[in-house]
Amino acid sequence: MPAESPLTLDLTADSVAITQVICDVPSVSGDESLLADLVEQTLAGASHLEVIRDGDTIVARTNLGRERRVVIAGHLDTVPINENLPTRFETEDGVEYLWGRGTVDMKAGVAVQLKLALELTDPIVDLTWMWYDNEEVASSLNGLGRLSRNRPDLFVGDFAILGEPSNGQVEGGCNGTLRAEVWTTGLRAHSARSWVGENAIHKLAPALAKLAEYQAETVEVDGLAYREGLNAVLVSGGIAGNVIPDEAVLTVNYRFAPSRSVAEASAFVTEFFDGFEVAIVDSAEGARPGLDDPLAQQFVRAVGAEARPKYGWTDVARFSALGIPAVNFGPGDPLKAHADDERVDIAQIVHTEVALRAWLTGTSA
């Protein structure tokens, strides 16, 4: 057990107040221990929960013998702080917001989950709550990935909800993502005598022109329309201000519909840049929405909204890879995630709590 933290977390408070408390505990990726300690200590005395810790990932689960089990997860970490803590309340155009790092991505969702984890002692399904570290950094460090390797038994479930910001709506599945490097080579020469060299940067021009002209597809998957994207995100090359470069690299990001596999996406990108040297340097499978599952359909009805596609990659893909249908559902506008003016509409926090509580207890919202 960790040493007792001098901080306290009152989960009997309303979910907006809980959001403010946990946002004011800094937890930039790699520095989640203090918040993880606080979560573990707060839930340790709950008789209806089995509390498990793996690094700075905390799991709390019921074992009520229900017919079905739902996994609900959220990450504890944030991107770096940029003069946007402590949190504060502000009102704009009649809408009240909680402003500050982590309010959107995704401590408001975590606050709702923590409150419900403590209060729901008799849900209609068994629940596994997961709060994990290192989501905002390299996939190899991701706490959910580590937990799946260390304790695969904890990932048994029939349906999963990830509390990523979705404006309080249901976003099914997610696009896959792939990064590729497109290489060109040339011949160094003095720039005053460029005609005796070959400019590797200039050789990227056809690849950039092709990208600029490309119209990305919109692909329907299980009734949801996923918009793809193929874009240059980085260009590197050059030796000095008076040297013709002999090497250049164009980095491309492909966001592909979850109906495609990484292998298919890789083949598409390689063929798209035919004639160039192409290296796939990073990739992650997408996740189909899984909205044909009865639990998923019940959940969408309980929330009272039409399901939408998730364009960005999220950890729902980890559940999908295990055969568990998964959706994103949390308060906050995704466009404000990571922004310096990150802020969450407090009405969305309340809506998320009410909708989740109603579904998990079988009552009307």
CATH number, domain 176-284: 3.30.70.360
Distance between CA atoms of 321 and 330, rounded to whole angstroms? 21
Of residues 32, 37, 56, 77, which has the active-site annotation? 77
**What is residue 274's predicted lDDT score, i.e. its pLDDT?**
97
Q: Distance between terminal CA atoms of the chain? A: 38
Please say if 136 is a catalytic residue: no
Catalytic, out of 37, 40, 54, 135: 135
133 given a catalytic annotation? no
- Supply the pLDDT for residue 1: 47
Q: What residues contact 30, with CB distance under 8 A and at least 6 apart?
A: 77, 133, 134, 137, 141
Quote the DSSP letter at residue 16. Answer: H
In this prediction, residue 294 carries a pLDDT of 84
Hey, where are the domains in the chain?
A: 15-174+287-361, 176-284
Per-residue pLDDT tens digits for 163-173: 999 999 999 99
- Catalogue the E-assigned strands of 142-246: 159-162, 170-172, 176-185, 189-190, 218-221, 224-227, 229-237, 243-244
Residue 114 and residue 18 in contact, taking contact as beta carbons nearer than 8 Å? yes
Which superfamily does CATH assign the domain made up of 15-174+287-361 to? Zn peptidases (3.40.630.10)
State the greatest distance between any 2 C-alpha atoms of the chain, in Å, as a whole number: 79
Q: Beta strand pairing status for 343-345 and 243-244? A: unpaired
pLDDT value of position 222: 87
Containing 134, the helix (H) or strand (E) segment is: none
Tell me the two tokens of residue 4: 């007792």
| Residues of the chain with confidence (pLDDT) below 50 | 1-2
CA distance 230 to 217: 9
Dump pLDDT digits (tens) for 177-189.
Answer: 999 999 999 999 9
Model confidence, pTM: 0.86
Distances in whole angstroms, Cα of residue 96 to Cα of each of 17, 20, 29, 129, 337: 13, 14, 28, 29, 17
Q: What is the pLDDT of residue 5?
A: 52
Cis peptide before 130, with omega less than 30 degrees from 0?
A: no
For residue 162, list its beta bridge partners. Answer: 73, 328
